[in-house]
Chain A
Amino acid sequence: MNLPVQLLWLIPALPLVAAGIGALTPRGGRPIAAGAAIAALIGSFILSCLALKTALVDPAAHLTANFSWFDLGTGTFRLGWLLDPLNAFMCVMVTFVGTLIFIFSLGYMKEDANFTRFFCFLSLFAAAMLGIVVANSLLLLFVSWELVGLASYLLIGFWFHKPEAAAAAKKAFITTRIGDLGLLLGMLWLYDRTGTLLFFDNGAGCLEAGALAGLSSATLCSGLAVSTAIGLLIFCGAVGKSGQFPLHVWLPDAMEGPTPVSALIHAATMVAAGVFLVARVYPLMSADQALTNVPLHALTVVAAIGAITALMGAVIAVAQNDIKRVLAFSTVSQLGYMMLALGVGSWVAAIFHLLTHAFFKALLFLGAGSVIHAAHHEQDIRQLGGLGPKLKVTFATFAVGMLALAGFPFLFSGFWSKEAILHAAEGWEVSHLPLIAGLIAVVLTAFYMTRLVSETFFGHGRSHASEHAHESPAVMTVPLAILAACSVLIGFVGTPAWPWLQSQLTGEPVHPHGWFEGAGLMMLSILLVAFGIGAGLAIYARRTRVTASQRDPIEAKAPSLFAFLGARMKLDELYAATVGKVNSALAVVSDGLDRYVWAGIVNFLGRLGEFAGVVYREADEEGLNGGFDTGSETLREAGKVYSRSQTGDAHAYLRALAVGFVVLVLVITLGGLR
Chain B
Amino acid sequence: MTTLQLCLVISSLLFCIGLVGALSRSHTILVLLGIELMLNAANMNFIAFWRFGASPTAATGVLFAIFSIAVAAAEAAVGLALVIAVYRHQKSVRLEEANRLKG
Contacts and interface: CB of A to CB of B under 8 A. Distances in A.
A binds B: yes
Interface of A: 640, 642-651, 654-655, 658
Contacts of B31: 650-651
Contacts of B23: 651, 654-655, 658
A650 B98 contact: yes
Interface string B41-54: 00000000000000
B99 A647 contact: yes
A219 to B, nearest CB: 44
A640 B23 CA distance: 27
A647 B102 contact: yes
B100 to A, nearest CB: 7
Interface centre among B23, B26, B98 (most CB of A within 10 A): B23
A645 B103 contact: yes
Contacts of A646: 101-103
B96 A649 contact: yes
Interface residues of B, number: 13
A651 B95 contact: yes
Contacts of A640: 103
Contacts of B96: 649, 651
Nearest to B20: A658
A640 B19 CA distance: 31
Contacts of B95: 649-651
A177 to B, nearest CB: 28
5 contacts: A643-B103, A646-B101, A647-B103, A655-B23, A658-B19
Interface string B84-103: 00000000000110111111
Interchain residue pairs A-B with the least CB separation, the first 4: A643-B103, A648-B102, A648-B99, A646-B103
A644 B99 contact: no
A650 B102 CA distance: 10
Nearest to A661: B19
B22 interface: yes
Contacts of B99: 647-649
A646 B100 CA distance: 10
A643 B101 CA distance: 9
Interface in B23-39: 23, 26, 31
A642 B96 CA distance: 20
A654 B22 contact: yes
A643 B103 CA distance: 4
Nearest to A642: B103
A655 B31 CA distance: 12
Contacts of A658: 19, 23
B16 to A, nearest CB: 9
